[in-house]
Structure 1
Amino acid sequence: MLILVRHGQTDANARGLLLGRADPPLNETGLRQARALAAALPRATRIVSSPLTRARHTAAVLAGAARGATEAADVEVDPRWIEMDYGDLDGRPATTLDEGSWHRWRHDPDFVPAGGESLAAVCSRVREACLELADDAARGDVVVVSHVSPIKAAVTWALGVGDEVGWRMFLGDAAVCRIDTSGPAPLLLAFNDARPVDGSDRPDR
């Protein structure tokens, strides 16, 4: 199983700011979310993370909980799972961008915000990463700790739909997606699953 985990909350997330390559740490809520994920998720054979602090810290908590398992792996950092580069918009509210630019960004995957990265570029690097993990994920649980845009890109890969479909998805802090890669085509089993964090997915419930 390919298990995609959005990192825990940061202060910028809580304030609703666009958070791309800026590198703030998890806040207290984010740390609690990471611990809840570690308690609820299955022990992984591989744990892969974006290079950004908020993802690496979440992944480190997961790895710490898994080290007692026979086949648990240390965290691997893969830059292809880094968040979209928002360029000049990083750390700013979404309202900074005018309505016309928002419309173009949401309908044209090749649109590049000033100093940033296109959605098409994000999807290209994530598809490559997914293909490389697919065989291992077919044999065991592979956890990837990443961000909103790369995880949505992985979901569009699994569904075989256009890059722009990612704009029609919502992914909460510390939410989990699951993709079965054991068959002839990827199969999306869960999207934006908050149960590991809210406690309803724990064995004692």
Structure 2
Amino acid sequence: MLILVRHGQTDANARGLLCGHVDHPLTDLGRRQARALAAALPRPARIVTSPLGRARQTAAVLAGDRPVEVDERWIEMDYGRLDGVVPTDVDGGTWTRWHTDPDFAPPGGESLAAVGKRVREACLDLADDAARGDVVVVSHVSPIKAAVAWALGVGDTAVWRLFLGDAAVCRIDTSAPVPVLRCFSSPA
């Protein structure tokens, strides 16, 4: 099973900011969420994480004394100049274009298509191992939603129709001929 875990809460998440590559640490609640995840999730064969600190902090709690693999492909979307902005402060034309054109990238940022491409490659690289044993990936909203779009076989813009909470878990079964989404945005 490919078990996708969103990192615990950060102050920026709690304030509803777009959090791309700006690296915010976990809050006290985020650390408690990571401990709860560690207690509830099965002991995986592998643990993979985004390179950002909030994901690495969460992965370290899940791993205990086991090794954690860092994979750059699981990093959050680069929001460019929109990083740290409240979504309601983004002008309507930018939102409309971003929601309808997967190749659109905010100034200095990354497109949904680029995120989808790197995440699909990461999912394919983990699929065989996840078919034989649990593989936990600690990541962020955009990459996890891109992995869900991969599992469902839908386009990149479908991610705008999904909500993923802090410390939420998604499970993708990769043992079937096609990936099967077993759960989305659930507690561990």
Measured against the shorter chain, the TM-score band is over 0.9
Match of 1:48, SS state, is strand
Would the aligned equivalents of 1:89 and 1:96 in 2 still touch at CA under 8 Å? no
Are 1:149 and 2:135 matched, yes or no?
no
Q: Following superposition of structure 1 onto structure 2, how do residues 91-110 of structure 1 map, counting pairs within 5 Å?
A: 91-110=84-103
Structure 1, gaps ≥5 residues long: 68-72, 197-205
Paired residues, number: 188
Counterpart Cα distance in 2 of 1:156 and 1:15 = 26
CA distance in 2, matches of 1:85, 1:126: 14
What pairs up with 1:76-87 in 2 under 5 angstroms? 76-87=69-80
Partner of residue 137 from structure 1, selected from 130, 142, 165:
130
Deviations 1:142-201 (A, max 9, x none): 00000000000000000001110000000000000000000100000000002x3xxxxx
C-alpha distance in 2 between matches for 1:107 and 1:36:
37
Partner of 2:180: 187
The 1-side partners of 2:143 and 2:76 are apart by 6
- 2:68 maps to 75
* Displacement of 1:95: 1.9
1:33 aligned counterpart, secondary structure: helix
Instruction: Give the deviation of 1:96 after TM superposition.
Output: 2.2
Q: Quick one: which of 119, 123, 129 aligns to 1:126?
A: 119
- Which position in structure 1 is the counterpart of 2:63? 63
Structure 2 alignment gaps of length 5 or more: none
Larger radius of gyration: 1
CA distance in 1, matches of 2:111, 2:18: 15
Moved over 4 A (4+): none
**2: distance between equivalents of 1:166 and 1:24?**
23
User: Normalized against structure 2, the TM-score is what?
Assistant: 0.99
Aligned equivalent of 2:3: 3
Does the alignment pair 1:112 with 2:105?
A: yes
The offset of 1:97, in angstroms, is: 1.3
Instruction: Tell me, yes or no, if structure 1 residue 26 matches structure 2 residue 19.
Output: no
Q: Aligned with 1:83: secondary structure?
A: coil
CA distance in 1 between counterparts of 2:94 and 2:18 reads: 15
